[in-house]
Amino acid sequence: MTLDLSGSAPRLRPPTASQGWHGQLQLNFVYQGQKTVPLQPQTTAPLRLQRPFYPEGGVCHSVIVHTAGGMVGGDRLSLSLQLQPHSQALVTTAAAHKVYRSSGLPTQQQTQIRLQAQTCLEWFPQETIIFNGAQHQQMTRIDLEPGAIWLGWEITRFGRSARGEQFSCGQWRSQLEVWQQGQPLWLDRSYLQGGSDVLQSPHGLNGSPVIGSLALLGYTLSDLQLATLRDCSAPGSGDTGITTLINGVLCRYRGASSQAARAWFISLWQALRPIYLQRPGCLPRVWGR
């Protein structure tokens, strides 16, 4: 990737740049022959799906690639995932996702996830970096049928803080909804206005550029299991908390380091996975770099 000092997108635009790119991905996982298979995945540029891996038996490890590395104003992404009964998939992304400064139009990402009976989706996108001046909206809706489990995380950095950039203008909105049989289990709607007092106030970000959430839905932990989770060592810096949701659990991070957030989330996932999936954690090989 070219070194980007301006905050603008370091890439060639498609011919119809004024319209932006609309990347689409549709995945339909089915359980057949003792393993989970993505049946005829559909993608359009700039999204692409790598060939699935099976490092631990039947669980399908899939990696989504954004070939342009990020989004500019006017770009949209629409992702749709469905897991047919008894399928199990772990989905991650190949690299950090960047949302560049917008010249006016917002960027939008929509994700629809439908988990049928007795399925499990582990959803581990890598960090999203919201550049100063970005205007980003993301909406994720997850529908769980009985016996379906979703475990996902999201790590967001506001501004390229390593080079001292702050999120002094722009806007970020995130809406994540998890429903089960017509009832909302968890509605997580957040927004951040660039340059607002929320960035510094202890009630908001407290001067921290990174926030992260890990949630498990569709599985209620016993008190003992919750205590096990709370025994996982917290990251060396940043604020963390663990609580229960309606039929689920939520862990939040607020701090300076997306690496620390991810390391904590991996340790929580490793503690949780034997509980909800009766399997030890198995790190996707794309993270090995």
Partner 1 sequence: MTIANSALLQLLQLSSPALPVGAYSYSEGLETLVQQGRLSDAEAVYQWLVQELRYGAVRLEAAVLLRCHQAMGDRNFDALQSWNQWLSAARETAELRHQSWQMGRSLGQLLQALSPALQPAIVCCQPHCNFATAFAIAAAHWEIEAVIALLGYLQSWASSLVNAAVKLVPLGQTRGQQLLLKLGPDLESAVENILLLQDADLASSGWGLAIASMQHETLYSRLFRS
Query: Which chain residues interact with partner 1 by CB under 8 A?
Result: 173, 175, 183-192, 197-198, 201-206, 211, 230, 239-246, 250, 252, 254
Residues in Cβ contact with 159 at an 8 Å cutoff, skipping those fewer than 6 apart: 130, 131, 132, 165, 166, 167, 168, 209
Closest approach of partner 1 to the CB of residue 202, in Å: 5
* Residue number, 93 or 138, with CB nearest to partner 1: 138
* Residue number, 44 or 243, with CB nearest to partner 1: 243
* Residue number, 198 or 283, with CB nearest to partner 1: 198
Contact 229, 268 (CB under 8 A): yes
Contact 152, 215 (CB under 8 A): yes
Contact 244, 250 (CB under 8 A): yes
* Residue number, 68 or 178, with CB nearest to partner 1: 178
Closest approach of partner 1 to the CB of residue 155, in Å: 13
Closest approach of partner 1 to the CB of residue 34, in Å: 36
Closest approach of partner 1 to the CB of residue 97, in Å: 20
* Residue number, 38 or 209, with CB nearest to partner 1: 209
Closest approach of partner 1 to the CB of residue 175, in Å: 7
Rg (CA), the chain: 19
**Phi-psi domain of 34 (left: phi exceeds 0; alpha: psi -120 through 50; beta: other):** left
* Residue number, 44 or 200, with CB nearest to partner 1: 200
Closest approach of partner 1 to the CB of residue 164, in Å: 22
Please give the Cα distance from 55 to 53 (Å, whole number).
6
Q: Give the single-character DSSP code of 53.
A: B
Chain Cα centroid distance, residue 7: 22
Please give the Cα distance from 249 to 26 (Å, whole number).
28
Residues in Cβ contact with 71 at an 8 Å cutoff, skipping those fewer than 6 apart: 21, 77, 97, 98, 99, 100, 107, 109, 136
Closest approach of partner 1 to the CB of residue 243, in Å: 4
* Residue number, 65 or 271, with CB nearest to partner 1: 271
